[in-house]
Amino acid sequence: MLFIALGFVLGIIIGWIISASAPPEVKGPVADWFKAFGDIFVRLIRIVIPPLIFFTIAAATASIANARKLGKILALMLFLYIITTIIASVWGIIAATTIAPGVGLNLTSQQPPPTPPSGIDILLSFFKPDFSDLLVVGGAMTMIIFAIILGLSVTFLGDEGRKIANILSLGSKTMVSFVRLIMYYAPVAVFMYAAWLMIKYGPQMLGAYAKFLGGQYLFTLLHFLLVYSIIVWLGGLAPIKYFKAQTYPFLIAFTTRSSAATLPANMEAARRMGVSDEVFGVTLPIGATVNMDGTALYQVMSAIFVAQLFNIGLTPFHYGLLIFAALVGSIATAAIPGGGTIMLAYVLAVMGLPLEGVGIMLVIDPLADAIRTAINVSGDNACTVLISKFLGYKLRS
Ligand code: ASP
């Protein structure tokens, strides 16, 4: 944890120095090298994501051994995930309308309004057709469904199934230990990414983008500090303990910009907060894939920002539609760097706003992605604490 924080601070300082002093022809290649050493980490984690999700969810499902209890966890989880995402979207509306980062720029759009993907497309994207689809990060949702059904099938085998349940649980432990090994590299990756971010995006923190980012960071952090404090407090945990444990995954998420890559660190934090494996083994892998408060807040803010840039007025009906679009958009967002901006195309399409907005937002995406990913993973853990309390589990101290 200390090394992660150290890597982060050092990366920012070194990046800032290089950004301020090196000539442009040196800055580019240096930034690329920093990024490459960060990418190694994310790639190693991405490799382990499908087996990690498979074993943790299947093992947790098989060990719960009671379909009703599992149903309860899933129902509570979805309820909390949806409520917190809607709250985040409302923050996004308040942020974009009060700070108004795009007002007065009067851009004009060249593209015709896009057609949004249909509800059927989105529904079926959760159920990929081939087994090989489960093995890529984009197929995580289908992998989750597969693992839950597999875990349930094991419990239906009764005593005979115990052997398989044990193998799944061993597999899950092996994956955790695999991840622990990779994690030794995390401080280096955090340093590399932080430096790259500063060199590449330091100068962009000016003008309308600065206003956007300032508002996004402010309200996203407000959501983190306020909403999650209340949630963990309701869950019987002192907020300070949550923030202490959450700092580690927060920094990993902030620099890797991937909820999937942060899953192991988030699990470690849940363990530290004393949450039972049975609960977080289900809620965190699913949360990493579907629960993205930071992304919803960002997509709402971005859509309003784009409307402001192009001088398009929005009515209360639009705001309602936007909250819904961001809920679907954030659920469908892949837990990888930039996933939220790719799905921003969907949100803009639903709203009938110019698709050029995606290109405009891409310019500052790594900066905007850092904070939204950090909050995405933090929300999963806050909800997990409350779910655990509702289900009658005691936090281990
Ligand atoms: N990078 C985010 C995540 O992994 C998704 C996004 O781009 O909003 O949680």
Mutational pocket test of ligand 1: of 295, 299, 358, the residue with most ligand atoms within 8 Å of the beta carbon: 295
Q: How much distance in Å is there from the Cα of 289 to the middle of ligand 1?
A: 9
Alpha helices for the chain (secondary structure H): 2-21, 24-64, 67-99, 119-125, 140-156, 161-183, 186-201, 207-222, 228-234, 239-256, 259-272, 277-290, 293-309, 316-332, 339-351, 356-362, 365-390
CA pseudo-torsion sign 75, 227, 213, 284 = negative
Q: What local confidence, expressed as pLDDT, does residue 79 receive?
A: 94
Q: Give Cα separations from 335 to 152, 226, 243, 275, 377 (angstroms).
A: 26, 24, 22, 23, 10
Distance of CA 78 to the CA centre of its chain: 16
Q: Which CATH number fits domain 2-390: 3.40.50.300, 1.10.579.10, 3.40.50.970, 1.10.3860.10?
A: 1.10.3860.10
Instruction: Determine the Cα–Cα distance for residues 294 and 254; give it in Å rounded to an integer.
Output: 11
The confidence score (pLDDT) of residue 395 equals 80
CA proximity to 71, closest of 358, 282, 287: 282
Which residues in the chain show pLDDT less than 50? none
CA-372 nearest atom, ligand 1: 8
Confidence at residue 110, expressed as pLDDT on a 0 to 100 scale = 62
Which residues are near ligand 1 (CB < 6 Å)? 257-259, 292, 295, 333, 335-340, 369, 372-373, 376
Angstrom distance (rounded) from CA 175 to CA 47: 11
pLDDT at residue number 190: 81
| Inter-residue contact 336 to 258 (CB < 8 Å) | yes
373 CA distance to ligand 1 centroid (A)?
5
Closest ligand 1 atom, residue 339 Cα: 7
Tokens in use for 346? 């969907």
Cα of 19 vs centre of ligand 1, distance in Å, is 26
What is the CA 147 to chain-centroid distance, rounded? Answer: 21
Q: In the prediction, which pLDDT does 387 show? A: 94
Structure token digits, residue 305: 């920002």
pLDDT at 289: 84
Rounded to 5°, angle at Cα 99 from 208 and 258 = 70
Residue nearest to atom 6 of ligand 1 (CA): 340
